[in-house]
Amino acid sequence: MTQPNTGPDDGPTPGPSAEPSELGGRPGVSYVMPVLNEVVHVEAAIASLLDQDYEGPFDVIVALGPSIDGTTELVERLSEVDPRIRVIENPTGSTPSGLNVAIQASQYPIVVRVDAHSLLPRDYTRIAVEAMLRTGAANVGGIMKAEGTTPFETAVAIAYGSKAGLGGGAHHVGGEEGPAETVYLGVFRREWLTRVGLFNEDIRRGQDWELNRRLRASGGVVWFTPRLVVTYRPRPSLERLVRQFFSTGLWRGELARRFFSANALKYFVPPITVAVVVLGLVAGIVGVITTAVGGAAGTWLLLGFVVPAVYTLFVIVAALGAARQAGGRTGALFLVVLPCIHFSWGLGFILGFLTLTKNITAHTGR
């Protein structure tokens, strides 16, 4: 297992001395993609890499986890057709371990982190490398543009891109070009990845944010540019969405506990919302019971229902906005999708923050 250098928290240290020009005009690029049970999306994702208009040499390293849905057979067929695609084993199936084994198996000075749910536009690599050469950044990334192919996926995509859903961060909705806390995916200088110790394999979700934290702490620049827009395919079902956001929240809570001062306030909004709504609902129910048996104090507890009522109104207003944007069916699904995201993520965060991450992932395998 790769053990990263966690880096200092209180100030930068001198970084690698290589100037941007030392990479050359068209440095070679290695695409690294961890894959596990992604037979629906992986072929299109790989095709978007082969179709890049970047003129430098490249290879594609697919770190294949123990898939059971036909992904293994599919990517092996693709590698037989195109020798630039290499398939290597990722026994644990986890994203950070897959990224690390792929990076270690790759050869070029620029490493492009790719997701099986993402489709890179043709100019993605060219724009990213140009930005890296221009700025000297350790990592360059852009916007995750979620797009659905069904009403449910569209509702999830709208939640991704709205402040009501995921908070409206720059890597979801865009912003000014410049240094950033983190970016979606990432185009890295290999020298910087080696310096900070690659991805932390103990962190199953949020590993990109944690790696970018170490890059910045070591003096590297994480550069955001809105010119990089990557299409992302959301989870297609409620069950998979719940699993995704619970796991993401779980590890965000773990990261918030480990690096409390490095976490922005926005990360604490979902767990606070969950706690307040649940407490309000419990207080209201207790108030109903107390009032029914003649307790005067129960009347005040009934005010607890105000909190879930306000939250429900918030969800309804957001769903109306989704309906105007994508139609009534999508708006109706948004009524389910939005609280699903908030409560799955928020509950996961609370459990992760309470140091229950390892116990839960040991049982869920995530």
**Are residues 320 and 228 part of one domain?**
no
**Same domain flag for 201 and 98:** yes
> With pLDDT > 90 as the criterion, what percentage of the chain qualifies?
57
Identify whether 254 is part of a domain: no
pLDDT at 9: 41
Identify whether 71 is part of a domain. yes
Based on the fold, state whether residues 312 and 179 are members of the same structural domain. Answer: no
Residues 140 and 308: their CA atoms lie apart, in Å, by 41
User: Above 70 in pLDDT, residue 282?
Assistant: yes
Phi, psi of 182 (to 5 degrees): -155, 165
122: closest CA among 237, 241, 227?
227
Q: Would 2 be classed as within a structural domain?
A: no
Q: Which of 18-32, 83-97, 210-224, 331-345 has the lowest mean pLDDT?
A: 18-32
Q: How confident is the model at residue 296, as a pLDDT?
A: 64
Same domain, 100 and 223: yes
Longest dimension (CA), the chain: 81
CATH number at residue 72: 3.90.550.10
Q: Do 47 and 103 belong together in one domain?
A: yes
Do 270 and 232 belong to one domain?
A: no
Q: Could you tell me if 81 and 225 lie in one domain?
A: yes
| Residue range 66-119, pLDDT digits in tens | 989 888 999 999 999 999 999 999 999 999 999 999 999 999 999 999 998 888
Radius of gyration of the chain (CA): 22
Sequential DSSP letters for 281-308: HHHHHHHHHHHHTT-TTHHHHGGGGHHH
The residue count of the chain comes to 366
Query: Given a cut of 90, is residue 162 above it in pLDDT?
Result: no
Q: Using the predicted structure, report yes or no on whether residue 299 has a pLDDT greater than 90.
A: no
- 80 and 205 together in one domain: yes
pLDDT digits (tens, 9 = 90+) for 181-240: 889 889 999 999 999 999 999 888 889 999 999 999 999 999 999 999 888 888 889 999
Backbone phi and psi for residue 106, each to the nearest 5 degrees, phi listed first: -85, 175
243 within domain boundaries: no
Domain that holds residue 168: 20-236
Q: What is the pTM of this model?
A: 0.76
Tell me whether strands 29-35 and 58-64 are parallel, antiparallel or unpaired: parallel
**Average pLDDT value for residue range 26-40:** 92
Domain count, the chain: 2
